[in-house]
Amino acid sequence: MSKKIGDVILDVHNISLRFGGVKALTDISFNVREHEVRAIIGPNGAGKSSMLNCINGVYQPQEGSISFRGQTFKHMNSRQVAEMGIARTFQNLALFKGMSVIDNIMTGRNLRIKSNIFAQAFRNPFGIGGAQKEEEAQREFVEHIIDFLEIQAHRKTPVGQLPYGLQKRVDLGRALAMEPQVLLLDEPMAGMNLEEKQDMSRFILDVNDEFGTTIVLIEHDMGVVMDISDRVVVLDYGKKIGDGTPEEVRNNEEVISAYLGTSH
């Protein structure tokens, strides 16, 4: 049974990014459709992470624009982008290593917590029941993510004590806690062994399928990309050299010479 891919949810239009005299991205355009897994591939230094940084507001491109659900933004910071419904994981884990798994994932709920605990206290000087109820609801949501990612046994474990593959799963959980419409994954399988990659691939597909989350994925493992992606955009030296289904990209001569030909 094939899944239903929706309309364009994210539209990247003529993005160019420079650092001083160095061109990181040159006139890049592509779109992402709702419910698809969209991969961005290319050799090291191709501009993949720079592209994600433009989408989630870490970098401000000098030219071009990005539209999310028809709303165009040129200068948005990361929090504003997150509030719109775009979450991000990072290639280098940015977890709180001394905090437990559940507390790390709870940090992803910050955008969703509506109660101001002090306002609640003033309204109800004999207790902060509303805020307490809300925290309980937030924890219940986080427990659902922990179950989904099969890390129940590690709920109270400090993240720094977990194996690398499980830390990456916690990072994914924290992003899911934001309830994103679009999830940006920056090399979620970097440094993993085969079994860990298979697990992470399964979780990504489950997130896409069960939550309906649209995925934009940077990944070096071509086998993974070809297995789980609906469409692939290929960058090389900051320029787009290919865009299409995995099959179309696999047979693109320019892509083969620039990237696939040197792949394992």
Q: Are 44 and 60 in a shared domain?
A: yes
Q: Are 1 and 80 in a shared domain?
A: yes
- Give the residue numbers spanning the domain of 124: 97-177
> What is the pLDDT, as a whole number, of residue 89?
86
Q: Which of 141, 158, 177 is the last residue of a domain?
A: 177
> What is the pLDDT, as a whole number, of residue 264?
41
Q: Which of 152, 177, 202 is the last residue of a domain?
A: 177
- What is the per-residue pLDDT across 53-80, written as a single tens digit (0 to 9) for each? 999 999 999 999 999 998 887 777 888 8
> What is the pLDDT, as a whole number, of residue 173?
94
> What is the pLDDT, as a whole number, of residue 114?
54
For 39, phi then psi, to 5°, come to -95, 145
> What is the pLDDT, as a whole number, of residue 124?
53
Q: Which of 140, 161, 177 is the last residue of a domain?
A: 177
> What is the pLDDT, as a whole number, of residue 190?
87
Residue 223: both structure tokens together: 């086998």
The structural domain count of the chain equals 2
> What is the pLDDT, as a whole number, of residue 115?
43
Residues of the chain with pLDDT under 70: 1-2, 91-92, 111-131, 259-264
The CATH number of the domain holding residue 247 is 3.40.50.300
Q: Are 24 and 62 in a shared domain?
A: yes
The answer to whether 80 and 57 have CB atoms below 8 angstroms apart is yes
Q: Are 108 and 81 in a shared domain?
A: no
Q: Are 8 and 127 in a shared domain?
A: no
What distances in angstroms separate CA 234 from CA 210, 217, 222, 231, one per listed residue? 27, 12, 12, 10
Q: Which amino acid type is present at position 189?
A: M
Examine residue 217 and state whether it is found in any structural domain, yes or no: yes
> What is the pLDDT, as a whole number, of residue 258?
80
Strands (E), 134-253: 182-186, 214-218, 231-236, 239-244
Q: pTM of this prediction? A: 0.86
